[in-house]
Amino acid sequence: METQIVPLLSIKAKPEHDYAPVKSFREGLSVGWKETVKLWKVAAPVACTTLFHYLIQSITTIFVGHLGDFQLSAISLAHNVINSIAFGFLKGMANALGTLCGQAYGAGQVDSLGIYMQRSCIILTITCFLLSLLYIFATPFLKILGQQESIAEFAGNYSLLILPQMFSFAINLPTQKFLQAQSKVGVITWISFVALITHIGLLYLFISVLGWGVNGAAIAYNITFWEVAVGQFVYAVFLCKKGWNGFSWLAFVDIWAFAKLSLASCMMFCLEMWYAMSMNIFAGQLDNAVIALGSFSICLNFQSWETMILVGMNTAIGIRVSNELGMGHPRAAKYSICVAVLLSLVIGIVSMTFIFISRDYIASVFTDSKVIQQAVAHLAYFLGVTMLLNSIAEVLTGVAVGGGWQVMVAYINLAAYYLFGLPLAIFLGFKANLGPMGLYGGIISGSALQILFLLIMTSRTNWDNEVEQTTKRIKRWGSKEIRTEKKIDC
User: In this structure, how many other beta carbons lie within 10 angstroms of the beta carbon of residue 420?
Assistant: 17
**Among 69-78, 197-206, 371-380, where is mean pLDDT lowest?**
69-78
Mean pLDDT in residue range 186-212: 90
Q: Are 181 and 96 spatial neighbours (Cβ–Cβ below 8 Å)?
A: no
**Among 129-133, 159-163, 397-401, where is mean pLDDT lowest?**
397-401
The whole-chain average pLDDT of the chain stands at 79
The residue among 376, 303, 259 whose CA lies nearest residue 58 is 303
Does some domain include residue 3? no
Q: Are 312 and 189 spatial neighbours (Cβ–Cβ below 8 Å)?
A: no
- For 78, the domain range is 8-489
The residue among 91, 415, 443 whose CA lies nearest residue 280 is 443
Mean pLDDT in residue range 288-309: 78
Whether 127 shows a pLDDT value over 50: the answer reads: yes
| pLDDT tens-digit series, residues 246-268 | 676 766 766 676 676 667 667 77
pLDDT of residue 1: 35
Does some domain include residue 1? no
DSSP letters, 87-144, are HHHHHHHHHHHHHHHHHHHHTT-TTHHHHHHHHHHHHHHHHHHHHHHHHHTHHHHHHH
Rg (CA), the chain: 23
pLDDT of residue 54: 79
pLDDT of residue 464: 74
**Integer CA distances (angstroms), 210 to 15, 205, 213, 216, 343, in order:** 63, 6, 8, 8, 45
With bands split at pLDDT 50, 70 and 90, how would you rate the model's confidence at 350? very high
pLDDT of residue 222: 93
Phi, psi at residue 131, to the nearest 5°?
A: -70, -15
pLDDT of residue 299: 83
- Total domains in the fold of the chain: 1
Mean pLDDT in residue range 135-164: 87
pLDDT of residue 224: 93
Does some domain include residue 54? yes
Mean pLDDT in residue range 79-95: 82
| pLDDT tens-digit series, residues 435-465 | 778 888 888 899 899 889 888 888 887 777 7
Mean pLDDT in residue range 74-81: 82
Does some domain include residue 467? yes
